[in-house]
Amino acid sequence: MYNLEGKVAIVTGAGRRRGLGRSIALRLAGEGADVIVSDLCHRPEQLPEYCPVADWEQLESVAGEVQGWGRRALAVNADVTKNQDVEMIMAKAMESFGRIDILVSNASVEIAGPVVEYPEAAWDVVMAVNVKGCFLCCKAAARQMIGQGKRGKIIIIAAQEAKTAMPHLAAYSASKFALIGFTQALALELAPYRINVNAVCPGTIDTDFGAQRFAREAEAAGISVEEAKARIVQARIPVGRVGKVEDVAKVVVWLASPESDYMTGQAINVTGGQEAH
């Protein structure tokens, strides 16, 4: 469709079989890009069991799927909250592929809980992964893109909660709101270099990340997960269904293509009509 032949893309947080990162990586590969996929392949200490994490097997399998599309791929085990890991991702990308054209900053965690009981350590983890991780990846990738002197595309995966927060998700919501401000500022800084920076705000999407939320809502209401899902769809999603990872990947890949060359600083909702801001 878009012809991204010759382009090299990095997708962070791509190490889960049902995840958004994988779907984005595969769509980019389908459009002709070579893809580096990264993730943290173990569970950080403060992250509760319900928050999905990647493992090396799944991450490697995603890289294998990229290769299945006839594209080159690399899997990198990296912690986006650590600058040396982020620089390592970029170094490996340059070593293997010689350029970076597209960055999809997708790595993200969620720890739920009311503010009045929220542990500091949980706050720090959410902010570190979601915000600082994004900053570090964008900084490193942008430096490389500027040096290359060609166009570039940075796509930041925020969330619907970047526009409308949810109770018990104050840290997560605040971290995602932060990404909107960051997207705008970075877009203005990188515009002279013709590097487009945009955010995507997925809504209720069928991933492990989404599933754990349905599970928690179902438990709280004393109903089945299916019932919880149906209630959410009925009450809040105009298009009448939960989103698929492909629905979000479609928008990401458009933003990675020359079709969106005149768009920057935006935060596009992909929520089936749930979010209006």
Partner 1 sequence: MYNLEGKVAIVTGAGRPRGIGRSIALRLAQEGADMVVGDICRPLESLPHHPVGMRQGLEALVEEIRGLGRRALAVKVDVTQKGEVEAMVRQAVEELGRVDILVNNAGATFGEPPTLEMGEEIWDKTFAINMKGTFLCSVAVAREMIKRGEGGKIVNVASQAGKWAGLNIPRPVDAPPGPGLPRLALGLAAYSASKAAIISFTRYFAIEMGPFKINVNAVCPGWVETDPIIDGFTVAAQGLGLTYEQLRDIIVANTIPLGRVETPEDVANLVLFLSSSEADFMTGQAINITGGTEMH
Judged by beta carbon, residue 121 or residue 191, the one nearer partner 1 is 191
Distance, in Å, from the CA atom of 96 to the CA atom of 73, rounded to the nearest integer, reads: 9
Judged by beta carbon, residue 42 or residue 194, the one nearer partner 1 is 194
Distance, in Å, from the CA atom of 13 to the CA atom of 240, rounded to the nearest integer, reads: 28
- Confirm whether 50 is a catalytic residue: no
Judged by beta carbon, residue 102 or residue 270, the one nearer partner 1 is 270
**Shortest reach from residue 211's CB to partner 1, in Å:** 18
**Shortest reach from residue 265's CB to partner 1, in Å:** 5
Judged by beta carbon, residue 119 or residue 273, the one nearer partner 1 is 273
**Shortest reach from residue 254's CB to partner 1, in Å:** 6
> Which residue among 118, 172, 229, 262 is the active-site one?
172
**Shortest reach from residue 139's CB to partner 1, in Å:** 17
| Sequence-distant (≥ 6) Cβ neighbours of residue 128 within 8 angstroms | 81
Q: What is the CA 160 to chain-centroid distance, rounded?
A: 12
Helices (H), 156-241: 170-190, 208-221, 225-236
Residues near partner 1, by CB under 8 A: 1-2, 184, 187-189, 191-192, 194, 196, 203, 237-240, 243-244, 247-248, 250-251, 254, 259-266, 268-273, 276
Query: Would you call 86 exposed, middle or buried from its count of C-beta atoms within 10 A (0-12, 13-18, 19+)?
Result: buried
Q: Which residue, among 215, 213, 217, 201, has the nearest Cα to 272 in the 3D structure? A: 201
Active site residues: 172, 176
